[in-house]
Structure 1
Amino acid sequence: MPLNKSALELAIKDLLIKEKAKTDDGSTSIDNIASKLAEAIDIFVRSGLVTTTVATTGSASAQTGTGTGYIS
């Protein structure tokens, strides 16, 4: 599955809209934005699917094939 850039963009817009709507003195905005942005990027990166070719050599039990998995 390719990375979902649209979902990341929506998450960023959502966090910015929520911060903009706050009526406090803004003293925690930078921390809130940094935390939520880091969370959105982490989800974005971990949503990627990695596919690789696997090959072993050197014995009668050598195998070839593919591997697929999510980033962890």
Structure 2
Amino acid sequence: MPLNKSGLEQSIKNAFKSMRDGDTDEEKGLDALCSKLADAVDTYVKTAQINYTAGLSAPNGPVTGVFNGTLS
């Protein structure tokens, strides 16, 4: 599954909306916002998919070579 940019954008938007709706002090609100943004980025990055194309070999020994592929 490729990276979901629109999902990340929605998560960030929701994090900022929750700040607007909160009644906490500034420091607690900032901590909550940072936590939600970090969760959004973490989720986004974990959806990355690596497509291996070539470059590695292991004929009866350790894997050697240069990994060739793309990140989607």
The CA deviation string for residues 18-65 of structure 1, in whole angstroms up to 9 with x for no partner, is: 110112333311111111100100000000111113431666xxxxxx
Unaligned runs of 5+ in 2: 61-72
TM-score, length basis structure 1? 0.69
**Structure 1 partner of 2:4:** 4
Q: Superposed, which structure 2 residues align to 1:8-47 within 5 Å?
A: 8-47=8-47
Identical columns (%): 34
* 1:56 aligned partner, one-letter code: S
Q: Tell me the distance in 2 between the aligned counterparts of 1:49 and 1:58.
A: 26
RMSD between superposed Cα atoms in Å: 1.8
TM-score between both structures, scaled by the size of structure 2? 0.69
Q: Figure out how many residues of one structure are paired with residues of the other and give that number.
A: 59
Query: SS state of the match for residue 51, structure 1?
Result: strand
> Could you say what secondary structure the match of 1:27 adopts?
helix
* Residue matched to 1:66: none
Q: CA 1:57/1:23 → structure 2, altered by over 3 Å: closer, same or farther?
A: closer
Alignment partners' CA distance in 1, 2:59 and 2:42: 39
Find runs of 4+ consecutive structure 1 residues off by over 6 angstroms: none
Point out where structure 1 has 5 or more consecutive residues left out of the alignment: 60-72
